[in-house]
Amino acid sequence: MHRFRHWIDGQARDAAGGRWLDVHDPANAQAYAQVAAGDGADVELAVAAAQAAFPAWSALPHSERARWLEALASALETRLEDFAQAESRDAGKPIRLAREAEIPRAVSNLRFFAHAATQFASESHHGQAGLNYTLRAPLGVVATISPWNLPLYLFTWKIAPALAAGNTVVAKPSEVTPATASLLGELAAQIGFPRGVLNIVHGLGPEVGETLVRHPAVRAISFTGSTAVGQRIAGIAAPLLRKVSLELGGKNPTLVFADSDWRANLDTLVRSAFQNSGQICLCGSRLLIERSIYDEVRDALVERAQALKIGEPADEATALGPLVSQAHYDKVLAALERARGEGGRVLCGGHALDRPGWYVAPTVIEGLGPDCASNREEIFGPVVTLQAFDDDAQALALANAGDYGLSASVWTRDLNRAHRLAAQLRVGMVWVNTWLQRDLRTPFGGVGASGLGREGGAEAMRFFTDAKNVGLHL
Ligand code: NAD
C-alpha cells in the first residue's frame, strides 16, 4: 500500500513516532494508502528546518524567489495529469473537475504569486508629516493549515504568497486528502527547491495543527477549514498575539430575480449548488427565488439535479462523485434527517445511493424558513434549500439571515438593484450574474462566522509581512 510521507528539509520522512493513518478512496470506502501520523516531534523538526532556511530564502532577490515559484508551477504543469488522477482518487472528485479546474488553479496560484513576489511594492507618503515610507519584511516561519475539499488548490493558495513574501513554511494538509500535497513535496525536492523552505507535516489536526499553532517560533497561521476549528485556533493564537488568517465555513445565498436570465444560466446555477458534491465553501446552498418564478425555477432545478450524472470519479462523464469521508457522509445524512424533522419537503434526492462509497443523491428541499438549522448551519453536501421572496427587502433579509457571511450571488438584469444589494449583503464576496469567477488579485474571505482576514493578491502579501514605517522630516 502506498505511503504518503512528510517532506521535511527537502526529504521524505516517516512520522517520528512511526505511526500511520489510513487514507480512503471515497468511491469504495476502502483504505488505499497510508499517511504519516505526525506529532510534536515532527513539528519540531519541520520548524527547525524552516528556521534554518529562513535567512537565505528571505535574503534572495525577489526575482529569485519568483523563479523558484515559477519553476514549481511549471513542474506541476508538466505533471498535471498525474496530480489530477491523484486528487480525483483521494478526494472522490470527478476527474474532469480535477483536471480542468483544480490542478490548473494550483498552477495559477504558484504562478500568480511568483509574479506577486516581483510586483509587491512599498508605499510612500509625502506631505505635512514629511516623507514616510513603509518597509515590508517577511515574518519568518509561518504555518498553513488546509482542508480536504480543494486539497492542492487551497494548499498552494496559502504556501505561494507565504513563500513569495520571503517566509519559510510548515504546511499541514488535511489528513483526509494528503496525496497531492505529498506529491508536491516530492516535486519540489526533484527540482531542487531550496531545502527547508517548504516543509509538509501530515497528521491529525489536534496533534500536528494545534502544535504548530502553539509553537513559539511560528509567527503566523493561515487556516482554511471549519468555523469550529477556526474558533479554537483563534482562542489559542490570541493570547500569544500571533497573526491569524481564518477562512471558514459558508451558507451562501443565491438570489434569483424574475427579471434575470435564469433559464440561460441554469448550468451555472446548478453548478453553484452541486459542484464537487456541494463541498465548496462558496457553493450556493440557499437558493432564494422571486415568488413569481418560484415554481418554474424549482421545477427546472429539480429536473437538472436529477439529471446530474453520478458515477465513479475516474469516469470522464461523471458530474457528481461521492462525499469525501465516512464522517462527512454521516454528517450530511444526519442533516437530511434533520431537514425532514424540521418539516422540509424533499423534492429530489434526500438519501444515500445504494452502491459502495460515500454517495449522496443531489437533494433539493423546500418549505424551510430562515430560522431552521437547515438554513443556518453548513451542510457542505449536495443539498440546496429553496425559499421564495416577494421583493428586494425580503430577499436581502433572507440572504443576511444567519451567522455566516462568505459569499452571495445575485441574478438580475436590473443593474441598480444589483449594485444596491451588493453593498447591503453581509458577505465578503458578491457575484452578479455569475458564480465562482475569480480574479486572483481580489480580496478573498468572509465576515461573521465565515472568518477573519482576507487572502488574495496584495492582501495575502500583506498578511505574510510585517510593516515598518520610516518617517523623515524634510
Ligand atoms: P476542519 O476544520 O475539520 O479541518 C481543516 C484543517 O484543520 C485540517 O487540516 C485539519 O487536520 C486541521 N485541524 C483540525 N483540528 C485542528 C486543531 N484543533 N488545530 C489545528 N488544526 C486542526 O475542516 P475540513 O472538514 O477539513 O474542511 C471543511 C470546512 O472548510 C468547511 O467548513 C468549509 O466551509 C471550510 N472551507 C472554507 C473555505 C474558505 O475559504 N472560507 C474554503 C474551503 C473550505
As a three-state string, the secondary structure of the chain is CEEECEEECCEEECCCCCCEEEEEECCCCEEEEEEECCCHHHHHHHHHHHHHHHHHHHHCCHHHHHHHHHHHHHHHHHCHHHHHHHHHHHHCCCHHHHHHHHHHHHHHHHHHHHHHHHHCCCCEEEECCEEEEEEEEECCEEEEECCCCCHHHHHHHHHHHHHHCCCEEEEECCCCCCHHHHHHHHHHHHCCCCCCCEEECCCCHHHHHHHHHHCCCEEEEEEECCHHHHHHHHHHHHHHCCEEEEECCCCEEEEECCCCCCCCCHHHHHHHHHHHHHCCCCCEEEEEEEHHHHHHHHHHHHHHHHHCCECCCCCCCCCECCCCCHHHHHHHHHHHHHHHHCCCEEEECCCECCCCCCCECCEEEECCCCCCHHHHCCCCCCEEEEEEECCHHHHHHHHHCCCEECEEEEECCCHHHHHHHHHHCCCCEEEECCCCCCCCCCCECCEECCEECCECHHHHHHHCEEEEEEEECC
**pLDDT digits 0-9 by tens, 246-268:** 999 999 999 999 999 999 999 99
Pick the atom of ligand 1 nearest to 213's CA. 20
For residue 143, what pLDDT is reported?
A: 98
Mean pLDDT on 29-49? 98
Q: What percent of the chain has pLDDT over 70?
A: 100
For residue 148, what pLDDT is reported?
A: 98
**pLDDT digits 0-9 by tens, 341-371:** 999 999 999 999 999 999 999 999 999 999 9
Binned at pLDDT 50, 70 and 90, residue 173 comes out as very high
For residue 171, what pLDDT is reported?
A: 99
CA-proximal residue: ligand 1, atom 33 (nearest): 249
Scan for cell 516543509, then name that residue: 199
**pLDDT digits 0-9 by tens, 280-312:** 999 999 999 999 999 999 999 999 999 999 999
CA of 393 to the centre of ligand 1 (A): 34
Question: How far, in Å, are 53, 64, 70, 195 from residue 60 at the CA level?
Answer: 11, 6, 15, 14
For residue 437, what pLDDT is reported?
A: 96
Within 6 Å (CB) of ligand 1, which residues are found? 145-149, 154, 172, 174-175, 205-206, 209-210, 213, 224-226, 229, 232-233, 247-250, 281, 378, 380, 406, 446, 451
Pick the atom of ligand 1 nearest to 173's CA. 9
Pocket test for ligand 1, best of 4, 102, 174, 202 (most atoms within 8 A of CB): 174
Domains by residue range for the chain, with CATH = 2-248+450-472 (3.40.605.10), 253-432 (3.40.309.10)
Between CA 72 and CA 68 the distance in angstroms is 6
Q: Which of 360, 362, 301, 376 is nearest to 326 (CA)?
A: 360
For residue 372, what pLDDT is reported?
A: 98
CA-proximal residue: ligand 1, atom 43 (nearest): 281
**What is the ipTM metric for this complex?**
0.97
Mean pLDDT on 396-403? 98
Residue 436: CB partners within 8 Å, gap ≥ 6?
271, 272, 275, 280, 282
Is 247 considered catalytic here?
yes
Binned at pLDDT 50, 70 and 90, residue 317 comes out as very high
Mean pLDDT on 6-16? 98
CA of 42 to the centre of ligand 1 (A): 21
**pLDDT digits 0-9 by tens, 208-249:** 999 999 999 999 999 999 999 999 999 999 999 999 999 999
**pLDDT digits 0-9 by tens, 133-170:** 999 999 999 999 999 999 999 999 999 999 999 999 99
Binned at pLDDT 50, 70 and 90, residue 270 comes out as very high
Label the pairing between strands 383-389 and 284-290.
parallel
**pLDDT digits 0-9 by tens, 81-110:** 999 999 999 999 999 999 999 999 999 999
CA of 283 to the centre of ligand 1 (A): 16
Q: What percent of the chain has pLDDT over 90?
A: 99
For residue 352, what pLDDT is reported?
A: 98
Scan for cell 499517511, then name that residue: 35
- Spell out a b/e string for 318-357, using b for 16 or more CB atoms within 10 Å of the CB, else e: bbbbbbbbeebbeebbebbeebeebebebbebbebeeeeb
**Mean pLDDT in the chain?**
98
Binned at pLDDT 50, 70 and 90, residue 33 comes out as very high
Catalytic annotation, pick one of 247, 290, 455, 459 = 247
Pick the atom of ligand 1 nearest to 328's CA. 25
Pick the atom of ligand 1 nearest to 203's CA. 11
For residue 420, what pLDDT is reported?
A: 98
Residue 383: CB partners within 8 Å, gap ≥ 6?
278, 285, 332, 335, 336, 339, 349, 360, 363, 365
CA of 214 to the centre of ligand 1 (A): 17
For residue 93, what pLDDT is reported?
A: 98
For residue 417, what pLDDT is reported?
A: 98
Amino acid letter, residue 429: M
Pick the atom of ligand 1 nearest to 247's CA. 41
CA of 226 to the centre of ligand 1 (A): 4
CA-proximal residue: ligand 1, atom 39 (nearest): 247
Q: What is the pTM of this model?
A: 0.98
What is the sign of the dihedral through the CA atoms of 331, 336, 339 and 343? negative
For residue 35, what pLDDT is reported?
A: 98
CA-proximal residue: ligand 1, atom 22 (nearest): 205
CA-proximal residue: ligand 1, atom 31 (nearest): 226
Binned at pLDDT 50, 70 and 90, residue 181 comes out as very high
Binned at pLDDT 50, 70 and 90, residue 61 comes out as very high
For residue 347, what pLDDT is reported?
A: 98
Question: Which grid coordinates belong to 151?
Answer: 486539497
Binned at pLDDT 50, 70 and 90, residue 428 comes out as very high
CA of 158 to the centre of ligand 1 (A): 13
CA of 215 to the centre of ligand 1 (A): 19
Q: 158 and 146 in contact (C-beta within 8 Å)?
A: yes
Between CA 42 and CA 202 the distance in angstroms is 9
For residue 346, what pLDDT is reported?
A: 98
Binned at pLDDT 50, 70 and 90, residue 402 comes out as very high
CA-proximal residue: ligand 1, atom 34 (nearest): 249
Pick the atom of ligand 1 nearest to 229's CA. 2
